[in-house]
Structure 1
């Protein structure tokens, strides 16, 4: 009888330890609503993330915020207060990610944000130090675009972006870079992601007679302004940000987006990238596994979630040396470990984090791409 008691106590202790050691990762994606083209591949990618890290089981709790920043805050609160997650991946949209920064900072839960705008990590402060961004910062992409404009002797530029943190930050970044290179921004316009008619903005942009126009918008919303400009006769050089880096852009835009130039992930032109690129093999592995699971290749936005998994896979074993999961000490150790990431090759590029740089990409995290015959191709 005494032996049975000991065995029972031992079993209960084992269950308690295993339960305590379980790592819980929350995921918030916009798999419905206006940002669904971004959110669906991100949600689908969760199934491809590591199930064991550092010898411990990893459980993912995935929630949909329907592209609504208010719902993002509710989802993050739920994950923190009801599930006691150790980290969160998401949300999908830039306004959504900005909306949750205060919540995750107060709870001291690391957030791996797969969003476009660099405002989630810049300027660095006590709140943003809990955010790590798994996409290229606007400045890195904008620098490549403006350099291309200089090569083409472009002196005047029109700009149209979404009326949210993504478009607003792009407006600031590209204006500053353009001014330094002697490029005049002739007109700036904005629009809501859900807008279907942009006639007024298109006519104002065309009236300024710019040699080129840059559209700063994520997902399907990147197509609308470019189509409006084309339909009203604009034939200058069109540029897009990495927010347009998805095949739906080509399908929705058709011939009206031909010759567009953008700087984005190598995944769009993976077969044209040299085998020596540190990200190529990793990107191909992700793409092939995604296709095996879902019957199609993923949009590059899904890779931002996959990279979050790679970052956690590297950082969690370091944090486990400080504490077991499920408490603030572990989360603090995890945040510190993420910040010390060095030369981590992933699908989008190579991460080198510092206390002031929570995106960590360098020029290996972008390639110049154009649209030729309805296909993405390396710009040569």
Structure 2
């Protein structure tokens, strides 16, 4: 009988337990009450023609924090194999299977453009690791971490103008990266006071540019701009120097890696490159708003991966963390991770948060500007005795 009719003091315990469980269930439904992982999808070219750019980002991901805004982070890293079609497939998988709250990537221009299409269709914020141009109205969910090509091109053209350059030859990739630089070089030619006298292209995987270089040299330009990225940017410069070109050779920020110096050797001496500040973090003035973040990243990264292993591309991945550190707490005020509302809140916070210091500049995204960097996001470098030297 005692099992069927427990003492009165135990009867009172059951209602209290039921009330406690009910209260816990209600609290779990309230914003901010339940723990939820923030799921970040990272798409990088870990293999293929652009792996030299993607691997530093993948390495940087090992430095990502375990929590942002007090919530645990779940990071899913996938390889796009330097292929836009694969990038699309991977982005769709991240959205449908992994239920990501935000996508980082890709580094390769064509792949990043492909991911932007998935981000727009799925309404998932994308922090692109390539400075991609998108048609008006097609970048509502895409925010770029690298510097706008136009911003960097203006810095290069200003240096040409100050040096009295009158004729320029161009040799660049026969893809979107080359297109962006050739477009801006043409658009800025009048302001720069020069004429574009040669225009040659090559594929990322090409092993020779002898024909293109001969055509450029036949035009006798004062200087040459190489519109390429990664180690493939060394190919035209090597060929130009081998054939006796004595003028200044300019390179883009896509080429600023220590591997460029390693592969190009003495032929790279004197090149002038637009770059993000992180590559010369130690040379930045104490007054620089990015110096502290840049030095922090360089210290962490090179302690793990070796001296002179830093790259701009890895730093863009680190800057994604700086941006998320600011916008995630703002989004958490109104929604929980894993929901459509949270993704929308992230996008809104990206457009409204101001003055986010990072290793490559200070971000101020707005509704009308999803690049977000200004003059604080670039420097000019040269290569002197196999080392980067800050020009300004």
Q: Hey, what's the Cα distance between the residues in 2 that align with 1:13 and 1:89?
A: 34
Give the conservation status (yes or no) of the 8 Å contact 1:124–1:356: no
Give the conservation status (yes or no) of the 8 Å contact 1:50–1:313: no
Q: Hey, what's the Cα distance between the residues in 1 that align with 2:227 and 2:26?
A: 55
Q: Hey, what's the Cα distance between the residues in 2 that align with 1:44 and 1:178?
A: 39
Q: Hey, what's the Cα distance between the residues in 2 that align with 1:7 and 1:178?
A: 73
Question: What does residue 157 of structure 2 align with?
Answer: 146
Question: What does residue 257 of structure 1 align with?
Answer: 268
Match of 1:21, SS? coil
Question: What does residue 168 of structure 2 align with?
Answer: 157
Larger radius of gyration: 2
Match of 2:224, SS? strand
Question: What does residue 333 of structure 1 align with?
Answer: 345
* Closer/same/farther in 2, CA of residues 50 and 18 from structure 1, 3 Å limit: farther
Match of 2:225, SS? strand
Q: Hey, what's the Cα distance between the residues in 2 that align with 1:285 and 1:79?
A: 30
| Selected match of 2:229 from 215, 218, 237 | 218
Q: Hey, what's the Cα distance between the residues in 1 that align with 2:52 and 2:178?
A: 18
Match of 1:105, SS? helix
Cα offsets for 1:101-154 (capped at 9, x unmatched): 221101000100111x4414xx541x2121111111011111111011111110
Q: Report which stretch shifted further, 16-25 or 351-360.
A: 16-25
Give the 5 Å matches for 1:1-380: 2=14, 21-115=36-130, 117-120=131-134, 123-125=135-137, 127-296=138-307, 297-379=309-391
Give the conservation status (yes or no) of the 8 Å contact 1:20–1:325: no
Q: Hey, what's the Cα distance between the residues in 1 that align with 2:147 and 2:99?
A: 29
Cα offsets for 1:270-320 (capped at 9, x unmatched): 222111111111111111111233334421210101101111111111111
Match of 1:313, SS? helix
* Closer/same/farther in 2, CA of residues 14 and 220 from structure 1, 3 Å limit: farther
Cα offsets for 1:313-360 (capped at 9, x unmatched): 111111112211112221111111111231111000111111121111
Pairs aligned (count): 376
Match of 1:24, SS? strand
- Runs of 4+ deviating beyond 3 Å: 1-20
* Structure 1 residue 21 displacement after superposition: 2.2
Q: Hey, what's the Cα distance between the residues in 2 that align with 1:191 and 1:40?
A: 23
* Closer/same/farther in 2, CA of residues 147 and 336 from structure 1, 3 Å limit: same
Match of 1:129, SS? coil
Give the conservation status (yes or no) of the 8 Å contact 2:27–2:33: yes
Q: Report which stretch shifted further, 9-18 or 327-336.
A: 9-18
Match of 1:119, SS? coil
Give the conservation status (yes or no) of the 8 Å contact 2:106–2:128: yes
Q: Report which stretch shifted further, 26-35 or 16-25.
A: 16-25
Match of 2:133, SS? helix
* Closer/same/farther in 2, CA of residues 326 and 215 from structure 1, 3 Å limit: same
Give the conservation status (yes or no) of the 8 Å contact 1:315–1:341: yes
Q: Hey, what's the Cα distance between the residues in 2 that align with 1:273 and 1:114?
A: 23
Cα offsets for 1:9-60 (capped at 9, x unmatched): 8999999998872210100011111111110110111122232122211111
Q: Hey, what's the Cα distance between the residues in 1 that align with 2:43 and 2:23?
A: 37
Match of 2:73, SS? strand
Give the conservation status (yes or no) of the 8 Å contact 1:144–1:263: yes
Gaps of 5+ in 1: none
Normalised TM-score (structure 2): 0.91
Match of 1:49, SS? coil
* Structure 1 residue 206 displacement after superposition: 0.6
Q: Hey, what's the Cα distance between the residues in 2 that align with 1:83 and 1:262?
A: 39
